[in-house]
Structure 1
Amino acid sequence: MSNVRTAASDGTAVRETGSGNPAPEAGSQRPTHRRKYVGYFAAAAAVVAAAGAAWWFATRPAPRYYVTQPITRGDISHSVSATGTVNPVLTIIVGSYVSGVIQQQFCDFNTQVRKGQLCAKIDPRPYQALVDQARADLANARAQILKDRAQLAYTKSASARNATLLQHGIVSRDTADNARSAYEQAQAQVAVDTAVIAQRSAGLRTAEVNLDYTNIVSPVDGTVVSRNITIGQTVAASFQTPTLFLIATDLTQMQVDANVSESDIGGLHENTPATFTVEAYPKRRFEGHVVQVRQAPQTVQNVVTYDVVIGVRNADLSLKPGMTATARIVLATRQHVLRVPDPALRFTPSGVSPSSKLPELPAGAVRIWVLRDAHPVAVTVTTGLDDDSYSEVTSGDIREGDTVIVGETAGNAAAPGVAGPRLRA
Structure 2
Amino acid sequence: MKRNKIIISIAVIAAIALALFFLFFNKKQDGVQLETEKPKIGYISETVTATGTVQPVDTTTVGSRISATIEEVYVDFNSKVKKGQLLAVLDKSLLQATVDQVKANLAEAESNAIYQKSNFNRQDQLYKTGSVSRAEYEIALNTYNTSKAAVNSIKAQLYSAERNVSFTRIYSPVDGVILSRSVSPGQTVAASFNTPTLFSIAKDITKMQVEAAVDEADIGDVSNGQRTTFTVDAYLNDVFKGTVKSIRLRPTTTSNVVTYTTILDAPNDALKLKPGMTASITIYTKEVNKALLIPAKALKYSPDSTLSKKYTIEQGGENTSKSKDATQVYIWVLNGNTIVRKQIRTGINNNTQVEVLTGLDANDHVIIGTSTVASNTGTAAASSPFLPQRPKR
Relative to the length of structure 2, the TM-score reads 0.73
1:320 alignment partner, one of 274, 280, 300: 274
**Percent identity among equivalent residues?**
38
1:225 to 1:351, Cα distance in 2 relative to 1, 3 A: farther
1:194 to 1:285, Cα distance in 2 relative to 1, 3 A: same
Q: Provide structure 2 residue ranges, at least 5 long, that are not aligned to the other structure.
A: 1-23, 25-29, 307-313, 375-393
Q: Is the 8 A contact 2:32 2:373 kept in 1?
A: yes
1:130 to 1:350, Cα distance in 2 relative to 1, 3 A: farther
1:271 alignment partner, one of 225, 229, 245: 225
Q: Is the 8 A contact 2:59 2:201 kept in 1?
A: yes
Name the counterpart of 1:119. 87
> Are 1:230 and 2:223 matched, yes or no?
no
Distance 1:66 1:254 in 2: 56
* CA offset digits 1:189-247 (Å, max 9, x no partner): 11001111111011111111111112111101111111111222221211222111111
Distance 1:246 1:280 in 2: 24
Deviates most, 98-107 or 283-292: 283-292
Where does 1:56-67 land on structure 2 (aligned, <5 Å)?
none
> Are 1:392 and 2:355 matched, yes or no?
yes
Which SS does the other structure have where 1:318 is aligned? coil
1:383 alignment partner, one of 346, 356, 364: 346
User: Rg bigger for which structure?
Assistant: 1
Equivalent AA in structure 2 for residue 298 of structure 1: P
For residue 338 of structure 1, report the CA deviation from its aligned partner: 2.6
Q: Is the 8 A contact 2:295 2:368 kept in 1?
A: no
Q: Provide structure 1 residue ranges, at least 5 long, that are not aligned to the other structure.
A: 1-56, 58-62, 165-175, 409-418
Which SS does the other structure have where 2:137 is aligned? helix
For residue 387 of structure 1, report the CA deviation from its aligned partner: 2.8
Equivalent AA in structure 1 for residue 247 of structure 2: V
Where does 1:341-380 land on structure 2 (aligned, <5 Å)?
341-346=295-300, 360-361=319-320, 362-363=323-324, 364-368=327-331, 380=343
Where does 1:62-77 land on structure 2 (aligned, <5 Å)?
70-71=37-38, 72-77=40-45
Distance 2:245 2:269 in 1: 18
Where does 1:40-119 land on structure 2 (aligned, <5 Å)?
70-71=37-38, 72-119=40-87
Q: Is the 8 A contact 2:298 2:366 kept in 1?
A: no
Where does 1:20-31 land on structure 2 (aligned, <5 Å)?
none
* CA offset digits 1:48-101 (Å, max 9, x no partner): xxxxxxxxx9xxxxx999996845432111222222222211111111111122
For residue 160 of structure 1, report the CA deviation from its aligned partner: 4.2
Q: Is the 8 A contact 1:297 1:304 kept in 2?
A: no
1:140 alignment partner, one of 78, 83, 108: 108
For residue 181 of structure 1, report the CA deviation from its aligned partner: 2.9
For residue 404 of structure 1, report the CA deviation from its aligned partner: 4.2
2:97 alignment partner, one of 126, 129, 132: 129
Name the counterpart of 1:405. 368
1:268 to 1:186, Cα distance in 2 relative to 1, 3 A: same
Distance 2:304 2:235 in 1: 46
1:243 alignment partner, one of 197, 204, 229: 197
Instruction: Say what the alpha-carbon RMSD is for the aligned residues.
Output: 3.3
Distance 1:231 1:334 in 2: 59
Higher RCO (C-alpha under 8 Å, 6+ residues apart): 2
Q: Is the 8 A contact 1:68 1:405 kept in 2?
A: yes
Name the counterpart of 1:15. none
Name the counterpart of 1:154. 122
